[in-house]
């Protein structure tokens, strides 16, 4: 009886997983493994690949640009993650207060998420313009002389961070909102009876129960940060002088512009290793702070 | 955990490669059936054609040309695909990698050598030999020869483009400065620009973009080059080149006749073109593809040859049609590319619709181009050919994008004032040496 | 729902913060819309004006010179809708297993799913294209749709939400004799509505904006999607920004409609969770 039940359960697991497993293996894992093979070759896509062993990997490690790209990603991360998560939490909490017009606000917050980078990059270039941009105008009101953001070696990355936070904060807000929606009101009722105030409620109930969602956002954002590409391509193309160059930007250029597919594949696998390790560490650490209802 | 993951992944892959392997067999057995009729040539042969220069507003012109071709050649059917310039090579290279290259496709000169060197395009010498009617002198010799590789003809030039000096006649008149002519050098340009600059009203004497493409032409105007004439060594850090780069910087930094180099406004897309059209630039080095854009400007303007320093130099951008190495329809492909590049119908339509300048030798045909609309001195376009500089692909055409990237980055550092002109070119020389190994 | 209605000052603060944020977030978008109605010179004028001097609808007609927008639009709607529905189905099924079943290798398998997110698409593109060419799926609708019918992102998103559904709900149902399928359709899915709605928007949006894969897999005009057309609005030498803005405005509308549609479920999910909790 018990064995039978177990067998049935396994069958159910298999059936439920089958479509995703199949498409993941065929459309994701297979190309990924092919790219692993490619990374061991010198391949320009036009001719036949030539086996070169680990040469591409060695070259990635000896190329100065690789380190610059990693460094640039960390520059991005440090600014982007706290900002987007902090603002997202603030907006989500405020929007969840069941105020009038919450729907309209939510809609407005979501607009940047669904606007295309190409169209938006032009206005951002203007907002960030060193001479006539609004951002520098506002800064000048408080007596600060703003930089020529996107043309400045140091300030180009902060500018990209700003634009990215603008684009993504709606995404984070919406995810957090759906996380908040999962939190049962009973908790708040109980807390009220205990006499907890708003701030207390936030830290004692909202935040802990939101940790699975926050964990999700952190993992996804980190993965996305390491694959930073679109906004860089449309706003600076990796410049000025390489100060916003990223891993994926280099991978794309090497694969499709420089006829170095093998090298690009090696770069991808190194990038993958970095992301994988970080995700593993986060996965281990989550048990310490992520609060699942089923414990 | 990692180990388990890998084992699992491998297991899945093995199953999948079986699946893929099987279907591959199926695909291969069906291949001859679809390939066979093409050889018989009773049914129309279908050739696939991929290109980018029609992207934008010339797709209807392209369609008209292809329709006409199919009307004249009922045994050939052309399936065409037009892609944006930015995506064209991404798609083309992926198609070649997947053994799905189009029969005929378009390449720019700077990419042509790569495809020839990598042996993915067919040399057309036998097609030329088999074609009794074809005469290579219908094309401008320079343009035709640009698509030779190791002495063999690989492509036929469709058209070319050039960069010239545009000038605002009204501004010249207002300041009673004589118009630029072909005898001008940088010196005359500077003197005129100093008179024309009116910083208070935001009017600048002269402007040229600060990037790699402008750089390799400017150094040529000073007698320099990126590679030695035998293409064996790097000469980018020569004194002539350093001086030329310094000139690019000094125009704004020292003489103040160009906008400041960190002027963000001019880094906006098309900002220089809009500034010229707005009457804010007296002289502008830009492409002849902007004729249409300036046609309705509310002032008089014309074009002239670019002033050089020790010699004249002009950009030459040419696009050609080439044939995939793997095509089984070479004869049809040849007839098609011949039609698209040199047939009178295609040529005159190309001129009439303002698509590009055909690389046709016959001056009678070209007369209709010179007579088109503004500017008055259209003949200048033809004169640029006497001093053209080809994109400096050097000994490593296949690494062209890396050349532009590496040098471009160093130029940018010099532009930002982080390093001097000399340092920039020394760095660039080192990086180029690294590329040729 | 009954929280904080008594505090007036925080409400005022809430509105202030939200309004400032909303204006900042929406401004660039409004500029895009207004750009769609400007002429070629005005659209690039600096500093920009929010309203066009003269409204023109010509840009929307001009797009047709570049590509057949209605055909590409319909293709995009078909592809994105099918993709979204399949992705919702397959991801929710997988997420159910990962959230509510204990079995050996679960964590490893889940990690394997996540791994697929960690390799940049730019490098798996060509291998995938070669696989699809071999499978004779190049230049077909199926080829366009298949790679996106599942996403690790979606599975992850849904799993995180399903983990917050108390096991006691499911156990009660199993004791009552409900089948796994019934538990999935009658308990898990209804309770996951907010997350499903969220995934629905994102799946649709990703598919709608997807560019590199369609670029490579599709050759015929009959199959091309909107982003392929929009990319033609960017020129090699120069771009007509007003037409580009018009194209992007058209492209924006369907995603916004999907958003409006999905937004309802946030609220429904809220009350449902509240009742059952």
Q: Hey, which chains touch C, using 3+ CB pairs under 8 Å?
A: A, B
Confidence band of B40 (pLDDT split at 50, 70, 90): very low
Which residues of B sit within 8 Å Cβ distance of A? Answer: 1, 9, 12-13, 15-17, 19-20, 89-90, 93-94, 96-97, 114-115, 118-120, 262-265, 267-269, 398-399, 401-402, 405, 409-410, 412-413, 416, 418
Q: What pLDDT, on the 0 to 100 scale, is given for residue B42?
A: 66
Query: What's the rounded mean pLDDT across residues B413-421?
Result: 91
Q: What pLDDT, on the 0 to 100 scale, is given for residue A288?
A: 86
Interface ipTM? 0.83
Residue B205 corresponds to which tokens in the numbers above? Answer: 């004497």
Helix, strand, or coil (residue C172) = helix
Confidence band of B22 (pLDDT split at 50, 70, 90): very low
Query: What's the rounded mean pLDDT across residues B263-287?
Result: 86
- A28 and C131 within 8 Å at the Cβ level: the answer is no
Residues A12-51: pLDDT tens digits?
899 999 999 999 999 999 999 999 999 999 998 888 899 9
- Smallest Cβ–Cβ distance between C180 and the set A12, A122, A269 belongs to A12
Q: Which residues in chain C have their CB less than 8 angstroms from residue B5's CB?
A: 108, 111-112, 115
- Smallest Cβ–Cβ distance between C244 and the set A110, A119, A198 belongs to A119
Contact B325, B159 (CB under 8 A): no
Between positions 251 and 270 of A, the ones with CB within 8 A of B are: 253, 256-259, 261
Chain mean pLDDT for chain B = 88
- Smallest Cβ–Cβ distance between A116 and the set C15, C115, C251 belongs to C251
Task: Determine the Cα–Cα distance for residues A275 and A77; give it in Å rounded to an integer.
Answer: 13
- A46 and B97 within 8 Å at the Cβ level: the answer is yes
Percentage of residues of chain B with pLDDT beyond 90: 64
Q: Which residues in chain A have their CB less than 8 angstroms from residue C156's CB?
A: 216, 219-220
Q: What pLDDT, on the 0 to 100 scale, is given for residue A193?
A: 84
A264-268, B401-405, C29-33, C226-230: range with lowest mean pLDDT: C29-33
Between positions 238 and 257 of C, the ones with CB within 8 A of A are: 241, 244-245, 248, 251-252, 255-256
Confidence band of A101 (pLDDT split at 50, 70, 90): confident
- B401 and A126 within 8 Å at the Cβ level: the answer is no
Q: C228: Cβ–Cβ under 8 A, 6 or more apart, which residues?
A: C67, C72, C211, C214, C215, C218
Q: Which residues in chain C have their CB less than 8 angstroms from residue B27's CB?
A: 134-136
- A177 and C205 within 8 Å at the Cβ level: the answer is no
pLDDT at B89 over 50: yes
- A258 and B401 within 8 Å at the Cβ level: the answer is yes
Q: Which residues in chain C have their CB less than 8 angstroms from residue A119's CB?
A: 32, 35, 244-245, 248
pLDDT at C74 over 60: yes
A216-230, C89-103, C235-249: range with lowest mean pLDDT: C235-249
In degrees and rounded to multiples of 5, residue B181 shows phi and psi of -135, 180
Q: Which residues in chain C have their CB less than 8 angstroms from residue A125's CB?
A: none
- C133 and B98 within 8 Å at the Cβ level: the answer is yes
- C161 and A198 within 8 Å at the Cβ level: the answer is no
Q: Does A133 touch chain B (CB under 8 A)?
A: yes
Tell me the domains of chain C and their CATH numbers. Answer: 67-232 (1.10.3720.10)
Residues B147-163: pLDDT tens digits?
999 999 999 999 998 99
Q: Which of A142-146, C12-16, C93-97, C251-255 is modeled with the greatest confidence?
A: C93-97
Closest CA of chain A from C245, distance in Å: 6
Query: What's the rounded mean pLDDT across residues A262-287?
Result: 92
Q: CATH number of the domain at B44-160+318-361, out of 1.10.3470.10, 3.40.190.10, 2.40.50.140, 3.90.320.10?
A: 3.40.190.10
Confidence band of A293 (pLDDT split at 50, 70, 90): low
Confidence band of B51 (pLDDT split at 50, 70, 90): very high
Percentage of residues of chain A with pLDDT beyond 70: 98
Intervals of CATH 3.40.190.10 along chain B: 44-160+318-361, 163-315+387-436
A286-290, B188-192, B254-258, C44-48: range with lowest mean pLDDT: C44-48
- Going by their DSSP bridges, the two strands B281-287 and B301-304 should be labelled as unpaired
pLDDT at B56 over 80: no
Q: Which residues in chain B have their CB less than 8 angstroms from residue C136's CB?
A: 23, 27
In degrees and rounded to multiples of 5, residue A29 shows phi and psi of -65, -40
> Minimal CA–CA distance to B261: which of B210, B219, B198, B206?
B210
Query: What's the rounded mean pLDDT across residues C99-123?
Result: 90
Confidence band of C85 (pLDDT split at 50, 70, 90): very high
Q: What pLDDT, on the 0 to 100 scale, is given for residue C204?
A: 94
Chain mean pLDDT for chain C = 86
Test mutation, B270, B405, B434, chain A, max A CBs within 10 A: B405
Q: Does C20 touch chain A (CB under 8 A)?
A: no
pLDDT at B433 over 50: yes
Kindly report the number of other CB atoms within 10 A of residue A43's CB atom.
Answer: 26
pLDDT at A123 over 50: yes
Q: What pLDDT, on the 0 to 100 scale, is given for residue C277?
A: 29
Query: What's the rounded mean pLDDT across residues B410-426?
Result: 93
Residues B170-180: pLDDT tens digits?
999 999 999 99
pLDDT at B26 over 60: no
DSSP B282-321: EEEEEEGGGHHHHTT-SS-EEEEPPPBSSS--EE-EEEEE
Q: What pLDDT, on the 0 to 100 scale, is given for residue B384?
A: 92
Residues B129-150: pLDDT tens digits?
999 889 999 999 989 999 999 9
Q: Does C145 touch chain A (CB under 8 A)?
A: no
pLDDT at C45 over 80: no
Query: What's the rounded mean pLDDT across residues A165-186?
Result: 86
Which is more confidently placed, B225 or B371? B225
> Minimal CA–CA distance to A139: which of B360, A48, A130?
A130
pLDDT at B37 over 60: no
Q: What pLDDT, on the 0 to 100 scale, is given for residue B107?
A: 95
pLDDT at A166 over 80: yes
Q: What pLDDT, on the 0 to 100 scale, is given for residue C88?
A: 96
- B97 and C129 within 8 Å at the Cβ level: the answer is yes
Task: Determine the Cα–Cα distance for residues C243 and C260; give it in Å rounded to an integer.
Answer: 26
Task: Determine the Cα–Cα distance for residues B160 and B373; give it in Å rounded to an integer.
Answer: 19
**Which residue in B has a C-alpha nearest to residue A25's C-alpha?**
B12
Q: CATH number of the domain at B163-315+387-436, out of 3.40.190.10, 3.30.1330.20, 1.10.1060.10, 3.40.50.2300?
A: 3.40.190.10
Confidence band of B59 (pLDDT split at 50, 70, 90): confident
Closest CA of chain A from B241, distance in Å: 20
Q: What pLDDT, on the 0 to 100 scale, is given for residue B174?
A: 95
A216-230, B98-112, C224-238: range with lowest mean pLDDT: C224-238
- C118 and A223 within 8 Å at the Cβ level: the answer is yes
Question: Which residue intervals of C101-177 are DSSP H helices?
Answer: 106-118, 121-134, 141-145, 152-162, 167-175
Chain mean pLDDT for chain A = 88
Q: Hey, which chains touch B, using 3+ CB pairs under 8 Å?
A: A, C
Instruction: Judge residue C64's burial from the number of C-beta atoms within 10 Å of its C-beta, 0-12 exposed, 13-18 middle, 19 or more buried.
Output: exposed
- Going by their DSSP bridges, the two strands B163-168 and B281-287 should be labelled as antiparallel
Residues A218-269: pLDDT tens digits?
999 999 999 999 999 888 888 788 899 999 999 999 998 888 999 999 999 9
Kindly report the number of other CB atoms within 10 A of residue B118's CB atom.
Answer: 17
Task: Determine the Cα–Cα distance for residues B366 and B379; give it in Å rounded to an integer.
Answer: 10
pLDDT at B19 over 60: no
- Smallest Cβ–Cβ distance between C130 and the set B8, B98, B287 belongs to B98
Confidence band of B334 (pLDDT split at 50, 70, 90): very high
pLDDT at B27 over 80: no
**Which residue in A has a C-alpha nearest to residue B324's C-alpha?**
A46
Q: Which residues in chain C have their CB less than 8 angstroms from residue A10's CB?
A: 103
Query: What's the rounded mean pLDDT across residues B108-128?
Result: 91
Tell me the domains of chain A and their CATH numbers. Answer: 1-38 (no CATH), 55-289 (1.10.3720.10)
Q: Establish, for the pair of chains A and B, how many residue pairs have beta carbons separated by less than 8 Å.
A: 96
**What are the CA-CA distances from residue A151 to residues A66, A172, A235, B267 (Å)?**
22, 29, 10, 8
């Amino acid at each position: 009886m018990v064995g039978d039940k177990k067998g049935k359960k396994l069958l159910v697991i298999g059936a439920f997983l089958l479509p995703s497993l199949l498409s993941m293996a065929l459309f994701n894992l297979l190309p990924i493994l092919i790219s692993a093979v490619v990374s061991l070759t010198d391949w320009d896509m036009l001719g036949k690949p030539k086996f070169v062993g680990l040469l591409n990997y060695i070259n990635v490690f000896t190329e100065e640009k690789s380190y610059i790209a990693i460094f640039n990603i960390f520059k991005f991360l440090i600014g982007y993650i706290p900002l987007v998560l902090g603002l997202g939490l603030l907006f989500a909490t405020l929007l969840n207060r069941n105020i009038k017009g919450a729907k309209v606000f939510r809609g407005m917050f979501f607009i940047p998420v669904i606007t295309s980078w190409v169209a938006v990059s032009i206005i951002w270039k203007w907002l960030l313009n060193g001479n006539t941009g609004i951002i520098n105008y506002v800064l000048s009101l408080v007596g600060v002389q703003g930089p020529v953001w996107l043309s400045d070696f140091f300030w180009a990355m902060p500018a990209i961070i700003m634009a990215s936070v603008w684009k993504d904060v709606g995404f984070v807000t919406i995810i957090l909102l759906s996380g908040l929606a999962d939190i049962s009101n009973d908790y708040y009722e109980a807390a009220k009876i205990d006499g907890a105030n708003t701030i207390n409620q936030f830290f004692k109930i909202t935040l802990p129960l939101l940790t699975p969602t926050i964990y999700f956002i952190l993992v996804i954002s980190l993965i996305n940060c390491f694959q930073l590409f679109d906004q860089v391509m449309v706003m600076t193309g990796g410049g000025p002088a390489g100060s916003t160059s990223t891993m994926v930007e280099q991978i794309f250029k090497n694969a499709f512009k420089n006829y170095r597919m093998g090298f690009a594949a090696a770069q991808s696998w190194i990038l993958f290793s970095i992301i994988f390790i970080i995700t593993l560490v986060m996965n281990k650490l989550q048990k310490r702070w992520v609060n699942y209802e089923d414990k | 955990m990692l180990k388990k993951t890998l084992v699992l992944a491998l297991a899945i892959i093995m199953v999948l490669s079986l699946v893929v392997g099987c279907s591959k067999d199926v695909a291969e057995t069906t291949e001859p059936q679809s390939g066979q009729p093409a050889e018989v040539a009773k049914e129309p042969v279908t050739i696939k054609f991929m290109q980018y220069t029609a992207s934008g507003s010339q797709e209807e012109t392209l369609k008209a040309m292809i329709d006409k071709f199919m009307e004249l050649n009922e045994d050939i059917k052309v399936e065409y695909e037009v892609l944006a310039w930015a995506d064209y090579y991404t798609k083309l290279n992926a198609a070649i990698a997947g053994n799905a290259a189009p029969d005929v496709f378009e390449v720019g000169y700077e990419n042509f050598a790569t495809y020839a060197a990598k042996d993915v395009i067919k040399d057309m010498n036998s097609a030329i030999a088999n074609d009794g009617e074809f005469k290579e002198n219908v094309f401008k010799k320079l343009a035709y020869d640009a698509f030779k590789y190791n002495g063999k003809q690989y492509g036929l030039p469709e058209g070319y483009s050039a960069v010239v000096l545009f000038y605002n006649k009204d501004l010249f008149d207002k300041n009673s400065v004589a118009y630029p002519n072909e005898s001008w050098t940088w010196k005359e340009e500077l003197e005129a620009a100093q008179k024309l600059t009116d910083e208070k009203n935001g009017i600048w004497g002269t402007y040229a973009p600060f990037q790699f493409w402008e750089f390799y032409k400017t150094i040529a105007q000073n007698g320099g080059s990126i590679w030695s004439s035998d293409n064996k060594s790097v000469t980018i850090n020569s004194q002539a080149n350093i001086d030329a780069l310094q000139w690019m910087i000094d125009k704004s930094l020292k003489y103040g006749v160009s906008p400041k180099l960190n002027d963000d406004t001019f880094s906006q897309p098309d900002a220089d073109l809009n500034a010229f059209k707005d009457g804010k630039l007296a002289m502008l080095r830009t492409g002849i593809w902007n004729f249409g854009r300036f046609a309705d400007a509310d002032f008089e303007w014309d074009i002239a040859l670019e002033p050089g320093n020790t010699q004249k130099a002009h950009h030459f951008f040419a696009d050609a049609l080439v044939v995939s190495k793997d095509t089984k329809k070479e004869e049809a492909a040849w007839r098609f590319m011949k039609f698209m590049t040199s047939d009178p119908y295609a040529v005159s339509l190309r001129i009439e619709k303002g698509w590009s300048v055909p690389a046709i030798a016959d001056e009678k045909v070209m007369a209709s181009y010179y007579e088109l609309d503004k500017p008055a001195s259209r003949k200048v376009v033809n004169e640029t050919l006497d001093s053209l500089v080809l994109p400096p692909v050097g000994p490593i055409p296949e690494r062209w994008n890396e050349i532009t990237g590496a040098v471009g980055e160093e130029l940018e550092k010099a532009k930002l004032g982080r390093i001097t002109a000399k340092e920039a070119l020394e760095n660039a020389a080192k990086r180029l040496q690294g590329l040729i190994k | 729902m009954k929280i904080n209605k008594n505090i007036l000052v925080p409400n005022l603060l809430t509105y202030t913060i939200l309004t400032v944020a909303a204006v900042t977030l929406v401004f660039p978008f409004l500029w895009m819309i207004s750009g769609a109605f400007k002429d070629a010179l005005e659209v690039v004028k600096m500093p920009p004006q929010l309203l066009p001097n003269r409204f023109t609808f010509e840009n929307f007609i001009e797009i047709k010179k570049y590509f057949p927008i209605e055909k590409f639009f319909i293709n995009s709607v078909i592809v994105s809708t099918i993709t979204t529905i399949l992705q919702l189905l397959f991801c929710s099924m997988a997420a159910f297993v990962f959230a509510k079943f204990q079995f050996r290798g679960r964590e490893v398998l889940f990690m394997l799913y996540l791994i697929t997110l960690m390799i940049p698409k730019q490098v798996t593109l060509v291998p995938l294209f070669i696989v699809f060419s071999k499978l004779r799926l190049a230049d077909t609708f199926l080829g366009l749709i298949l790679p996106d019918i599942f996403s690790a992102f979606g599975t992850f998103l849904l799993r995180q939400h399903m983990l917050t559904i108390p096991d006691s709900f499911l156990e009660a149902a199993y004791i009552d004799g409900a089948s796994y399928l019934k538990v999935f359709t009658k308990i898990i899915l209804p309770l996951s509505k907010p997350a499903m709605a969220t995934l629905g928007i994102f799946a649709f949006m990703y598919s709608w904006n997807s560019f590199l894969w369609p670029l490579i897999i599709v050759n015929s005009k009959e199959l091309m999607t909107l982003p392929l057309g929009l990319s033609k609005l960017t020129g090699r030498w120069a771009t007509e920004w007003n037409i580009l803005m018009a194209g992007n405005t058209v492209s924006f509308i369907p995603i916004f409609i999907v958003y409006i549609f999905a937004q309802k479920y946030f609220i429904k999910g809220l009350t449902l969770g509240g009742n059952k909790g």
